[in-house]
Structure 1
Amino acid sequence: MLNISKKFFLILNLIVLCVSGLHAQNFVTDKNAIRHAVIGSIGNQNVLFIGELDGGLSCYTMEGKRLWDYAPEISAVLFEIEAADIDNDGSDELLAANANGTIYCFNHLGELLWEFKPKNKVRFSEVAVVKNNDKVQIFAGGNNYFLYELDIKGHIISKTPIEGVIRKIEGGNFIDANTQSLFVMTYAHDKFRWEFMGFLDAETKAVIKRVSYTDRRLKNLRRAMVTDISVNDINNDSKADILFFGDDKFKPLFIALNSDFDVLAEYLGNKKQIQRYAHAQGVFLATRNEIMLQYGGILMVLDTKGNRIGTSGSKYGRNVFSDFAFDPRSNQLVAAGSVDGGNNICFYDLEKPKWWLTTHKKQGRMLEVEKNLDVLYQQILNFKLPAYQKPSEKEWVMITKEKIDPKLKSLNGTDVKFVIQKSPKESTDRSHLVAVLGNIALKKDKRGTYQDTREDIIQMAKDFETRKQPFTFWAGHGNDPFYIQIETLEKILEVAPNTCYGFVYAEMDKVEDPRVIHFVEEYLPRLAKAIRKNNQAKLYFRYKNMFWAATSHLPLWKDMFFSGKYNDFLVPASEDTSNRIQDLNLAGRIGMHSGGYVNDFAMRLIDDNPTSWRPLSPGGQNSVSPYLRQGVIMAAYGARYGIVSTSGFVEPPGLNILFALMKSGVLPVVEKENIQSISSWHLIKDVDEELIHSVDNHHNLKQYKRDDDNAVFSLAQMHWAGTNIPKYDYSYAALGVKYRWLNYLPEIPNGMVPVAPIESKHILENKKTPYFVSNTKVGFSNGEHVSAKTFGDTIKKVIEKGAKRMFLTVKGASWSLVKLDENHSRLILVDPGYINPQRRKVEINFQNMEPKLISDILSKEVFKITDKKCSLNIPAGSMRFIDISY
């Protein structure tokens, strides 16, 4: 949708920008979640082109006047924008590479000149321009192993096979000061190294030079997670150099290479600068001959050799900007957006000697979110349970190291048990395991030191019991299921019967691993016997990707999680804040819980870098809003347990808001029989192993297939991260998810549609509950396979039928409806934009019961119903709790 200012040329003629002594002021856009910013030129004036997370594009003057904007019809992650005068009219066009498979081109008026979309679906991530004499070439690439060449009209000129998934394409005078060529970098792994890195002749596409990742000169680069790459001449030889910004084991890193792959400059951070998954961005400031590196909360200035000149900010500090752009005309550095969804533009005046010491106050969307959460927190602290809401007899269990706000002590709606987690690694001999499993039993996790004896660990448990300190131990991982051996686990349960809340296991998804099989067949029965002597102890299993919706239906796991043998102590969890396909895991765990296969499930809130495509995912967020909203949705569907740990980036009061919701009773403990927002079900039969393994193998980017989109769980492989999904896909059709990136809060316009095994069929049929069946790849109709593209109609009909059975449906929010008593329900409404917070207009449609009263239990606002509909707003980044009386 195009919106061009009628006063476009008048604005440009009246506003005098970037004259001596005149610098732009910070401003707030009317956009959402700014991800990209580049400086462009319209006539003799500089402008700022802006790209939003979900594909929106706009153009602003440097004073903050919006000239035009554009919203694509198909939302997906916008990976790159490039400003270039491709038609030589004196004004820059804007090129955009969108993960929806389209390259867009706009003129300076914001008119869409053309769009390029290949016949077969591609996730485009890069676009670049090469100019030689009067010839202009446009290059684009993505995940399908081809480099596309387009002319200035968007017509395809050539299609060149390449090795790996495109990570970066840039045009520049790399080899020759008078001739531009093409820099290309591709990946095969989702985080490290490269498959191809070198220069191509733009005319012939022949390789001019390339470098192997085994080249000893580049040892620091090959182990880095590179999150930003730019092209600049930093040594004044009239040839372009490649600048890499990122981290090495959570320490900041900057490396610059020339076209011979010699290291021109290098900065390697130290341990004092460590920040987990900090957002790294960099820019060359030509007027000062300096390099700016933002690493999380730290902003560093380097010289062209990599020596540090100055530093501002602090570890896990504030104002972590999404992107930067250098404006040489006004000698300013532009900082755009923020990693948690900001829409602000800030400026650094580079004429100041120590410009980097400039501080910027929070403004725009994230200031709005902060104020909204402050209001919410105060409302919660003042909340009193209504007479019709009985306190739960069950307690919340939060495994966390978070500091608890003393203000929570006054809340008495529901008890919250705060549990610590420790991670001892046992040094006991493993020869008995080797005798059974072979030498694979000796494999250990490189992330830990195995120095704790069995006696040490048991004594630790005894000490916790004496101090009445509730605790859990992290007891195993896919790298090593035997952090703590079974004999030790049994003894811990024996010596700490009141304080041991169980054991955590992570990412043990590989069904062919003999260690995993041994754990399931030998450890689990023994743990079941020991745990059942200790009522509160649980086993918490953390799996990401789409384990709970698909992998758990493989035979080994299905017998464990869906047999009912262990439902009293198994607690499924997932890395809920680091999973691009979290909607699937959400529906899977709801299906396990509401289907009666487990008694509890857990929210897992963790500060890991989101596993969309990691180098292009945002780092840790300052705002607690994403974690808070995800936790609320989990709890609203029955997650009574939490394994939570936000990063140092998160501002106070942090997750105390979540704990306050729990302890006050605003967020009730939800029993499965009280959930009133489940409309229909998706049952899994004969789960497709090939599809599962292609998704679970998330480090491997080289898996492109033309029919990846023809699946019920489609485009879930890592190399598709950020792309839009088809309307017949389960996530789109049932949960309202538009693209797989950070869509952890599905809008579920027709109610929640849980995922469960085919064995639930008879129960659902007895209750006359609608359902559909697939193997995750294809659907089933009358026992026959039906392609996903055809099966989409079945999904739509089933969920619409199910939606009509519910008391109400909601549009515009992530939501849950929970029964409080025979005459009252609580509607929980959450802003669904994980790192795209916005004020949301919500419509509630009442269907089968006429409400007597609808009110916000915190603000006390009462709402009217007109034509069986009620409209209200959710504050950006926040939530509302609406009680409905019948």
Structure 2
Amino acid sequence: MIHDLWCGDLTGDGVDDVLAANADGYVYCLDGVTGKQLWSFAPTDGPHKTPMYAVCTTKAVDGTKYVACGGYDKSFYWLSATGRKLKAIASSTYSQDRPWGSAKAAGFGHSVNFLLPIPQQGGSADLALCGTMSHMQSPGSLYRFQPLADTPYDKKRISGIKTCSDFAVCDADGDGTSDFIFGGSGLTNDPLTVYNPEAGGMRKLVLRGNGPNGYRISLCELIKDEGKAVYLALTGAHINLIPLDLDASKIEKLGGTYAFNDLWKDPWSGKILLASAQSGGSCIHVIDPSVAGWKDAFRALDPPGKIRAIKANTARAFGHTRSFKAPAWEREPIPVYVPGSKHPVAQEIAATYDRQIFMGGWWHRGRVEKTDWRHRPESYVANERYRGRKDTRNQYVLTQQQVLDQLLPAFEGKTALDFWAGHGNGPLYYSPSTLRKVLEGANGRKTILTWPELESHDDDFRWVVEHIFYPLAEQCAKHNGWMVFKNKDVFWSTSPYLPLWRRMLSGEFADVFCSSMEETTDKTQDLSIAGRMGLWAAGSMNQWGMRTSRDNPSFDRSRQFSYQRLPSHFLRTTIYNLACGATYCGLTYVDDAHFSILWPLLAKGALFVPKREEIVSFSPVHLSMVNPDERYMDEGKNKKWTIYYDERRENENPLVFSHMNGSWPAAALTEWDFSRYASGLRDRRQNFMPPFPHGIVLITPPQQGVYADQNAPRGKLTDHLHPLYKATMKEYITDGRNYCSADGKQTHAANSDYYKTIEAEIQERAKLLPLTVSGDDVAWVCAQTAPKHLRLTLVDGGYLNPGERAAKVTFHTVKPVAITDLLDGSSYKATGDSVEIDVPLGLFRFIDI
């Protein structure tokens, strides 16, 4: 993944060359005429290269050109025009920023957020560097350097924004000195800050009224609007034209349809370049603000290319659902819980198909139950921390009766109701007594209690699990309740294997607990899928779930391009998870019309939701987790701070799952990383639909040896799976740092040759499956629907970059006599032991074999 681009003439041929700062840790220089690579640079030759994040050129007074580059190793580098390293400048030598809280020990320093040249009189250019310590909580500081300098000649803390997500250099007042614009990011408002060093202070402006709330970036440039100088701020799908005095009452707004992945001003022509639409677009759009009519043209912009193709393909597929009839050999669809909608298609499906369950949803609107119950003898919260713990976003003002008066009527006309019972910031929104009365008042209807972001695993939280959650689970078991935990990062491959969750892991409450996800700001979605499905397959839970929400794409909040207006990525992720057996979907539809195809696909059985014993695309190799290593857990959870990199520490502490904390956005995986050899991935980013080319390698509770709980109510893994796994499953064991033998007597380092043994076994045992699927960005799952029928689901797995895919299906233990797409009727014929099936852009195929 390319994090930054810069163009400048480094060879002296009069044509700009191209510099690319890449997430693999390199800066690449390409010839501006031929595209040939001229050179590359990385600070280290080792396997732990943090992403290069920013690059630009500067120019000394004598005309010498330098390249400045930097990223997440807390240094920046001066290079010659030919890529030779001249200096490495450690941020600890000049930084005025120091983290707080648990990250304080990291000391002064920062990662490099932005690098841009500062034009000087006479044609030279200094360097502007924006540093940050956290891509969520620290806007950082602006540092100005002369070319090749070791220390900055000026430092200024950035104010007015929480995260610095855009940076521009301009001369707004024409006085010959540069001004600086910092764009922020947020859910409910769109901030930016303008800094004029000559005037002194920073001026903040909050842009409002830019459409529905969402995770946008304020991208800003100085332009001439038909000759008049104004700031142009692109916020989501809106352009704000802002007077130079930042008078908010005089802002002109232009409402468009789509958000875009970047904005750039051509310094020679003044034209504005918009990068592709965030929803999967394939075009670059050019706006000429000097021409009358450009505003109406922006308002009417309907991107051609991929955007139109996705919409056309989806409409065509929707037409096929109208005439779809499920094959006679397939069973009736199982219940799936999805949010309700007022869309006509949802209303039609709800009236026609009783097996499609539309959940009601109730939102507390920031008002939850008073905390006096925590101090009463019959419900006393003995743990001091959680007796006083509150989610600061809420007011704790309602009586129990007021809660019930608001909540119970929400069940009317619904077969299920989903609501937050707490949050990791404060898990006790309501008393156990209140929740018990809700369960009883539901009168047998499904009650879905949800807790997002339960990250703690200390002794204090253990009290909550043992004294609140487990007794509540007993009540849910009596009253048709689910307890859904929407947890992020590596929770589902770590925390369930700690002592506090032993009863959940055992399967004692298999009908109550439901694993779901809140996969924002992390980069380990494949581990979450393998972990959630592993607990389901093992019998710890009899259901599992998934979630789509507006900030799912936000693995890097410094570049939070998460305002997709066409939710193709959400639709495809949902279909993939359902095809893997998920039955709870916490969905933000964004666009109900685009999502409307999901409902008939489910209700009619076109999208086959398998039971775990029907799936035949689990790898016969599984990885069992024991006593999760503290470093593994810490690396997986610490995704906000960007200043944790230490090459020596990385080399001395290889992990089975690498490059997970905030210093590794889109970084390349190590050769020994589980996500590479098992999930089929190359890097750490939004891997919501992993390829799993040899089958899904589950992360499970231990099955054999000293670590196995032979008396667990869940029974054995193979008791719950398709019969083909009875004699084929092979177990490996890890704690996240090392591999462990079943007898507990041997360990193997993550980067030892032992991983090659596992990799080879995964590849070899894949031949015991009916089939496997390969192809760039193809997600797949296969289930057996009848003695002689397989159902293969193929999905365009390009999460934010959808495309037409070619899926190569290789047959191992079956011989196909017919291969048919159940939606459009296309048929395919195998050649030898394989067949190639095309997957349309932004879509999926449901294949009967």
The two structures have a TM-score, normalised by structure 1, of 0.85
Structure 1 SS opposite 2:180 = strand
Counterparts of 1:210 and 1:878, CA distance in 2: 50
Counterparts of 1:272 and 1:345, CA distance in 2: 22
Is 1:672 equivalent to 2:612 in the alignment? yes
Correspondences of 1:74-473 after superposition (within 5 Å): 77-108=1-32, 109-119=34-44, 120=46, 121-132=49-60, 133-162=62-91, 163-173=109-119, 180-212=125-157, 218=159, 220-221=160-161, 224-247=162-185, 250-259=188-197, 262-263=200-201, 266-270=204-208, 275-285=213-223, 288-307=228-247, 311-314=252-255, 318-353=257-292, 355-358=294-297, 359-392=300-333, 394-400=334-340, 403=343, 405=345, 406-409=347-350, 412=353, 414-423=355-364, 425-429=368-372, 430-432=374-376, 436-438=382-384, 440-465=386-411, 467-468=413-414, 470-473=416-419
Q: Deviations over 1:274-303 (max 9, x none)?
A: 622124322222564222111112111123
1:381 shift after superposition? 2.8
Aligned counterpart for 1:748 among listed residues 692, 704, 716: 692
Correspondences of 1:49-68 after superposition (within 5 Å): none
Counterparts of 2:617 and 2:689, CA distance in 1: 15
CA contact (8 A) 2:210 2:235 kept: no
1:448 shift after superposition? 2.2
CA contact (8 A) 1:369 1:877 kept: yes
Counterparts of 1:499 and 1:672, CA distance in 2: 25
User: Which amino acid counterpart does residue 543 of structure 1 have in structure 2?
Assistant: N
The aligned counterpart of 1:775 is: 735
CA contact (8 A) 1:324 1:334 kept: yes
1:400 shift after superposition? 4.9
The aligned counterpart of 2:763 is: 800
1:440 shift after superposition? 4.5
Structure 1 SS opposite 2:848 = strand
The aligned counterpart of 1:660 is: 600
Is 1:785 equivalent to 2:747 in the alignment? yes
Counterparts of 1:435 and 1:677, CA distance in 2: 46
1:321 shift after superposition? 1.6
Structure 2 SS opposite 1:130 = strand
User: Which amino acid counterpart does residue 490 of structure 2 have in structure 1?
Assistant: M
1:730 shift after superposition? 0.8
Q: Deviations over 1:353-409 (max 9, x none)?
A: 4532323222111111111111122212321111111213x4111245674624435
Q: Mark the runs of 5 or more structure 2 residues left unpaired by the alignment.
A: 92-108, 709-715, 719-725
User: Which amino acid counterpart does residue 683 of structure 1 have in structure 2?
Assistant: S
Structure 2 CA distance for partners of 1:294 and 1:466, relative to 1, 3 Å: closer
Aligned counterpart for 2:808 among listed residues 843, 850, 869: 843
Q: Deviations over 1:532-553 (max 9, x none)?
A: 2213x10000101111122332
The aligned counterpart of 1:55 is: none
Counterparts of 2:704 and 2:554, CA distance in 1: 31
Structure 2 CA distance for partners of 1:810 and 1:639, relative to 1, 3 Å: same
The aligned counterpart of 1:529 is: 474
Q: Which moved more, 1:269-278 or 1:740-749?
A: 269-278
1:677 shift after superposition? 0.2
User: Which amino acid counterpart does residue 835 of structure 1 have in structure 2?
Assistant: L
1:350 shift after superposition? 1.8
Is 1:639 equivalent to 2:613 in the alignment? no
CA contact (8 A) 1:612 1:718 kept: no
The aligned counterpart of 2:424 is: 478
CA contact (8 A) 2:508 2:540 kept: no
Correspondences of 1:453-852 after superposition (within 5 Å): 453-465=399-411, 467-468=413-414, 470-512=416-458, 514=460, 516-535=461-480, 537-557=481-501, 559-576=502-519, 579-608=522-551, 610-647=553-590, 650=591, 652-679=592-619, 680-706=621-647, 708=650, 710-759=654-703, 763=716, 767-780=727-740, 783-790=745-752, 791-812=754-775, 813-852=778-817
CA contact (8 A) 1:694 1:703 kept: no
1:266 shift after superposition? 4.3
Counterparts of 2:186 and 2:787, CA distance in 1: 57
CA contact (8 A) 1:265 1:304 kept: no
Counterparts of 1:623 and 1:277, CA distance in 2: 14
Structure 1 SS opposite 2:149 = coil
1:556 shift after superposition? 1.7
1:200 shift after superposition? 2.4
Q: Which moved more, 1:280-289 or 1:105-114?
A: 280-289
The two structures have a TM-score, normalised by structure 2, of 0.89
User: Which amino acid counterpart does residue 589 of structure 1 have in structure 2?
Assistant: R
CA contact (8 A) 1:826 1:882 kept: yes
1:103 shift after superposition? 0.3
User: Which amino acid counterpart does residue 810 of structure 2 have in structure 1?
Assistant: N
The aligned counterpart of 2:104 is: none
Counterparts of 2:75 and 2:10, CA distance in 1: 23
Structure 2 CA distance for partners of 1:347 and 1:307, relative to 1, 3 Å: farther
Q: Mark the runs of 5 or more structure 1 residues left unpaired by the alignment.
A: 1-76
CA contact (8 A) 1:695 1:718 kept: no
CA contact (8 A) 2:118 2:169 kept: yes
CA contact (8 A) 2:21 2:55 kept: yes
Structure 2 SS opposite 1:731 = helix
Counterparts of 1:882 and 1:444, CA distance in 2: 50
The aligned counterpart of 1:42 is: none
Q: Deviations over 1:644-676 (max 9, x none)?
A: 1233xx3x4132222222111112231110000
Q: Deviations over 1:238-268 (max 9, x none)?
A: 1222111223552122222123683465432
Structure 2 SS opposite 1:622 = coil
CA contact (8 A) 2:370 2:398 kept: yes
User: Which amino acid counterpart does residue 417 of structure 2 have in structure 1?
Assistant: F
User: Which amino acid counterpart does residue 345 of structure 1 have in structure 2?
Assistant: I
Counterparts of 1:264 and 1:466, CA distance in 2: 53
Counterparts of 1:159 and 1:555, CA distance in 2: 46
Structure 2 CA distance for partners of 1:641 and 1:468, relative to 1, 3 Å: closer
Counterparts of 2:309 and 2:390, CA distance in 1: 47
The aligned counterpart of 1:65 is: none
Structure 2 CA distance for partners of 1:312 and 1:303, relative to 1, 3 Å: closer
User: Which amino acid counterpart does residue 434 of structure 2 have in structure 1?
Assistant: T
The aligned counterpart of 2:713 is: none
Structure 1 SS opposite 2:496 = helix
Structure 2 CA distance for partners of 1:261 and 1:843, relative to 1, 3 Å: farther
CA contact (8 A) 1:576 1:630 kept: no
Counterparts of 1:348 and 1:271, CA distance in 2: 23
1:232 shift after superposition? 1.5
CA contact (8 A) 1:103 1:117 kept: yes
Counterparts of 1:524 and 1:657, CA distance in 2: 37
1:304 shift after superposition? 2.3
User: Which amino acid counterpart does residue 561 of structure 1 have in structure 2?
Assistant: M
User: Which amino acid counterpart does residue 762 of structure 2 have in structure 1?
Assistant: I
Structure 1 SS opposite 2:478 = coil
Q: Deviations over 1:312-333 (max 9, x none)?
A: 444xx52212122223544422
The aligned counterpart of 2:95 is: none
Structure 2 CA distance for partners of 1:274 and 1:84, relative to 1, 3 Å: same
CA contact (8 A) 2:258 2:564 kept: no
User: Which amino acid counterpart does residue 700 of structure 1 have in structure 2?
Assistant: W
1:578 shift after superposition? 6.1
